[in-house]
Chain A
């Protein structure tokens, strides 16, 4: 099929004004250590899943912080919960619980919609 005509260009900018921070706030309540992340990327570099895919805990964490949950559903599923990230994190963030709770929160949100 030949495509023609115009399509709007989607901006890549994360507009934080339109972000919904409710899930992030809920996550902060459930996994308080989540706040301590300094974005060093240690978790991501040791991640077994990251060896094979683009899956990045750091990216999931950051998107969640910015209140952007759209792509997370697909992403979070790739975690194997092996726990290596837990041993690497310099700030003692409970990364496994963070991923599990993120999954549940995103899942819950998508179900509501």
Chain B
């Protein structure tokens, strides 16, 4: 049974960043990743808001700066069991390997909201309804695939905010924080790929909290003519030519509006990933959604109620990529302190 200083569960941005910090401090680190490749959601995004940095650049930076001799990375590995033995944590993986470590860092991240759960939006039913993740894949290829071919019409693309966020009907009371600005970013990218198109964004509130977010929103209006409609889309119906009609209330006009679209992008929210849910319940540190609960949000946000178990990133709550990275930084410091005290 091999012993490590620290086992990091989850090889996404948070896990890799913590691995980078800790391995450079010469701690013996193990990273367990359930997918075939490391990188987590960074592999699914094309460019990051608000400055359009390619996600691959962030991933490259992390992998290049991990100190190889101190780090072992094991992919296609998920954790099935975790328990304490003599002041050490014993982690059992899906291949029945067992590892021992002084500390464990949970960075199991999030999954996007399953858009099929909002049936009225017709994801999986109408071919022209896609999610923001699907759109990211298209943007990576540099083309937007419209399900219906046409050449004689200006394309119309709609973004629908808060799909699986701020919605008791889908069980998620929280705001996913990333979707507002992500839709603005994607709207700009769509306009760049298909300049001769009309882009509409249906929103409840636009929460442009981050630095440069408001500026990007302004640019999307000023330079890219993106239209914003304040109102939640209530239903989506197909047309005879296989496009869809959106219905919403234009709350600024107090009038219902409807419009036909070629492509509808659902801005899916963030839910705890399966791994997050499993681990948080295994350790009994889960909240009502399955997120990992930290010890204290203000002063001990990377600690959990289990000594030696640390947490960072979106397995805790909804964070942006830069926030995740910083959270992993502070987790690395907490862990180093913890290991030094031993």
- Would A and B touch once assembled, by the CB under 8 A criterion? yes
Complex CA–CA separation, A28 to B257 (angstroms): 21
Q: A14-B258, A15-B258 are in contact. Are A63 and B253 (CB under 8 A)?
A: yes
Mask: chain A, 12-53; 1 = CB below 8 Å from B; 0 = not: 111111000100000010001001101101000000000000
User: Are A12 and B255 closer than 8 Å at their CB atoms?
Assistant: yes
User: Are A13 and B259 closer than 8 Å at their CB atoms?
Assistant: no
Contact of A14 among B198, B222, B245, B253 (CB under 8 A): B253
Measured CB to CB, the closest approach of chain B to A10, in angstroms, equals 12
Complex CA–CA separation, A17 to B260 (angstroms): 6
- Whether a CB of chain B sits under 8 angstroms from the CB of A101 is no
Residues of B near A41 (CB, < 8 A) are: 252
Measured CB to CB, the closest approach of chain B to A22, in angstroms, equals 12
Measured CB to CB, the closest approach of chain B to A75, in angstroms, equals 12
Closest B residue to A39 using CB positions: B252
Contact of B221 among A13, A35, A58 (CB under 8 A): A35
- Whether a CB of chain B sits under 8 angstroms from the CB of A100 is no
Contact of A35 among B198, B222, B256, B258 (CB under 8 A): B222
Measured CB to CB, the closest approach of chain B to A57, in angstroms, equals 12
Contact of A13 among B227, B258, B260 (CB under 8 A): B258
Contact of B252 among A28, A35, A62 (CB under 8 A): A62
User: Are A16 and B252 closer than 8 Å at their CB atoms?
Assistant: no
Q: Which DSSP category, helix, strand, loop or mixed, fits chain B's interface? A: strand
Residues of B near A14 (CB, < 8 A) are: 250, 253, 255-258
User: Are B257 and A66 closer than 8 Å at their CB atoms?
Assistant: yes
User: Are A13 and B255 closer than 8 Å at their CB atoms?
Assistant: yes
Residues of A near B78 (CB, < 8 A) are: none
- Whether a CB of chain A sits under 8 angstroms from the CB of B295 is no
Residues of A near B198 (CB, < 8 A) are: 21
Measured CB to CB, the closest approach of chain A to B157, in angstroms, equals 14
Complex CA–CA separation, A41 to B221 (angstroms): 17
Mask: chain B, 239-263; 1 = CB below 8 Å from A; 0 = not: 0000001010010110111111000
Measured CB to CB, the closest approach of chain A to B136, in angstroms, equals 26
- Whether a CB of chain B sits under 8 angstroms from the CB of A96 is no
Q: A13-B258, A65-B227 are in contact. Are A32 and B222 (CB under 8 A)?
A: yes
Complex CA–CA separation, A41 to B230 (angstroms): 13
- Whether a CB of chain B sits under 8 angstroms from the CB of A84 is no
Closest B residue to A21 using CB positions: B198
Residues of B near A35 (CB, < 8 A) are: 221-222, 225
Complex CA–CA separation, A91 to B250 (angstroms): 21
Residues of A near B257 (CB, < 8 A) are: 13-16, 66
User: Are B252 and A58 closer than 8 Å at their CB atoms?
Assistant: yes
Complex CA–CA separation, A57 to B258 (angstroms): 23
User: Are A16 and B258 closer than 8 Å at their CB atoms?
Assistant: yes
User: Are B252 and A91 closer than 8 Å at their CB atoms?
Assistant: no
Residues of A near B227 (CB, < 8 A) are: 65
- Whether a CB of chain A sits under 8 angstroms from the CB of B218 is yes
User: Are B253 and A16 closer than 8 Å at their CB atoms?
Assistant: no
Closest 10 CB pairs of A and B: A16-B259, A14-B257, A13-B256, A39-B252, A62-B253, A35-B221, A17-B260, A62-B252, A14-B255, A36-B221
Ordered by A's residue number, 7 sampled pairs between the chains whose C-beta atoms are within 8 Å are A13-B258, A15-B258, A17-B260, A39-B252, A58-B252, A62-B253, A65-B227
Interface residues of A (CB under 8 A from B): 12-17, 21, 28, 32, 35-36, 38-39, 41, 58-59, 62-63, 65-66, 91
